[in-house]
Amino acid sequence: MTESAPLTWRDLPIRDDLRGLSPYGAPQLDVPVLLNTNENPYPPSAALIADLAQAAAHAAAGANRYPDRDADELRKDLAQYLGHGLVGANLWAANGSNEVLQQILQCFGGFGRSALGFEPSYSMHRLIALATGTNWIAEPRSADFTLDPAAAVAAIERHQPGLVFLTSPNNPTGTAAPMELIEAIVDAAPGMVVIDEAYAEFFRPGTPSALTLLPGRPRLIVTRTMSKAFAMAGARIGYLAADPAVIDALLLVRLPYHLSAFTQAVARTALAHTEQLLGTVDAVKGQRDRIVEELTGLGLAVVPSDANFVAFGDFDDTHAIWQRLLDRGVLVREGLLPNKLRVTAGTVEETSAFLDALREILKENS
């Protein structure tokens, strides 16, 4: 009896449109300096950890009961945090912004419908669209990764998509979308427009949020996350702001009790510590600006950033540079942009370790 080759997922009767795809994910390696997934480098304070433990214990006492199905109190807290005249009925929350995006596509996308995005951008927009049976249409950005409003409008008029996705600040490039671009897209789109503002708290001064455009625009959705500025990546809390009618529509596709009592408790506790948590944002922005300045001084091409990361290059062999940084204990992201790497702004010490390692590598190459 001969042994057969181990079964893989490719041997299973998966959907034809999923064949050829690869699971999303960045390397999770145990190295001293982790700068590849745009996390906030500052862990929760002792006071917040204590409050989180108390909140979790309180939630555990009622764990035999289902959680608040619609997370009403959390949505009120999120509305208060965002301001802009929003109330709880304008907010919706889920397990990370990716689940929020999935629910949007389940509701407004699907078989026979299309979604349009401007690439390079956040790859999960395309992947979740495909996973929900939504046809994905990619339009290119300019060589400098900007997007001309007239070109964006022309693409919308040409394709007539059911959804348009725009990331601001864009990931993986880091630059925020000008308000005139967002307005042009919202005004031209025949369906829903999703502005992904996962990194909005890191905007450079004077950069407005698409939240200012919500009044009178019932087909506009602004998505956010607590993973980045709030340093809650491990808690998986994402949310959106929109017209209440959008939230009512999403109730049709959300799974029952999708947001656990523990997740809601953690999110509300973190929001009660907003001032403390967002106090790290200025420190991260400072290291981001330091990276931009020092990499520019090294003669590298650097993309202007409104996020907590910086895309830089251009390299003949990006993988070789990535590997040599990793050999020095520094993990950055590769494979997102041609000839470029992306680095997250870390603590002062982490940023210094990255810059020192890169200087050594460039000196060796000179």
CATH 3.40.50.620 fits 29-45+276-365, yes or no: no
pLDDT band with cut points at 50, 70 and 90 for residue 3: low
Half-sphere exposure of 236 (CA within 13 A, CB side): 11
Estimate the crossing angle of helix 96-108 against helix 123-131, to 10 degrees.
Answer: 50
Please give the pLDDT value at position 22. 81
pLDDT recorded at residue 162? 98
Q: CATH 3.90.1150.10 residue ranges in the chain?
A: 29-45+276-365
pLDDT above 60 (res 1): no
Express each pLDDT in 271-323 by its tens digit.
999 999 999 999 999 999 999 999 999 999 999 999 999 999 999 999 999 99
Task: Give residue-wise pLDDT tens across range 151-182.
Answer: 999 999 999 999 999 999 999 999 999 999 99
Rounded average pLDDT over 202-208? 94
DSSP β-ladder status, 238-242 and 220-225: antiparallel
Q: Is the pLDDT of residue 18 over 90?
A: no
Calculate mean pLDDT across residues 185-199.
98
Distance from C-alpha of 339 to C-alpha of 250, rounded to nearest angstrom: 40
54-272 adopts what CATH topology? Aspartate Aminotransferase; domain 2 (3.40.640)
Distance between CA atoms of 140 and 155, rounded to whole angstroms?
10
CATH 3.40.640.10 in the chain, residue ranges: 54-272
Rounded Cα gap, residues 26 and 12, in angstroms: 25
